[in-house]
Amino acid sequence: MASGVKPRVKVPKSAAAGETITIKTLISHPMESGQRKDSDGNKIPSSIINHFTCDFNGQNVIDIVMEPAISTNPYFEFDAVVPEAGEFTFTWEDDDGSTYTETKAIEVS
């Protein structure tokens, strides 16, 4: 597991039923390629976010597979329709097997 990883998500607190909202996500992650060596000459293991998903009340909203050339601290901005009150679940998967999850609730006004 990479150290200092921090997922951040911006979702409006409320929306009208059927409204399209903009969601912004950023995960602070060093994205180690596995090509560098530490001060002792040992290879630093690869640690790259390779998969991102967002679900709303169990329904998939977006599913992104990332390639090794993805930049450090990947940022995604996308739109989603809010049919009802519920919870967004954001999941980032690392190629070292780590998973990072964040949830945000939204109310329908």
pLDDT in tens, 46-89: 788 999 999 999 999 999 999 877 888 999 999 999 999 999 99
- Pairing between strand 14-15 and 99-108? parallel
Write down the domain spans for the chain. Answer: 6-36+44-108
Answer yes or no: pTM beyond 0.85.
yes
DSSP-assigned beta bridge partners for residue 30: none
User: Confidence class of residue 34 from pLDDT cuts 50, 70 and 90?
Assistant: confident
User: Domain 6-36+44-108 belongs to what topology?
Assistant: Immunoglobulin-like (2.60.40)
Residue type, 103: T
Q: Give the C-alpha separation, 64 to 72, whole Å.
A: 16
Closest CA to 27 of 104, 97, 90: 90
